[in-house]
Amino acid sequence: MHIFSFLSPKELVNAQQVCKRWKRIGDEETLWKRHHQQHFKDEPLHISFYPRVVRSFRNSYLVYSRSESIRREVKLEDAALRAHPDYNGRDFSELLVLMN
């Protein structure tokens, strides 16, 4: 497990695909807790919309990182729209009409 502690979250998820043993090692809470604490809060997110999902640092990290990735994409799209020559302070729905 010590070697797995040097992997990034993405590498850890990829390593879990190798075999059942690596999957079990990759599911260790201590590995995910460190990543979670580095990037987010100390406590795992309570995922209320997935009532049967066990509250864990791994699940919480994956949910947080996905939502952060989505927020980043939205910001990039918003910046691209603002750079559009027809933007002029219009809202998104007006721009869609202009672009079609």
CATH number for the domain including 82? 1.20.1280.50
Task: Identify the band that residue 19 occupies on the pLDDT scale cut at 50, 70 and 90.
Answer: very high
Q: Say how far apart CA 63 and CA 57 lie, in whole Å.
A: 10
Whether the predicted model's global pTM rises above the 0.85 cut: no
Tokens of 27: 């599911």
Q: 56 lies in which domain range?
A: 3-99
Per DSSP, the chain holds a count of helices (H) and strands (E) of 5, 0
Q: In this predicted structure, what is the pLDDT of residue 22?
A: 92
Q: How many domains in the chain?
A: 1
Alpha helix positions (H), 5-56:
9-15, 20-26, 29-39
In this predicted model, what pLDDT tens digit does every residue of 52-93 receive, in sequence order? 555 677 777 777 776 665 555 555 555 555 555 555 555 444
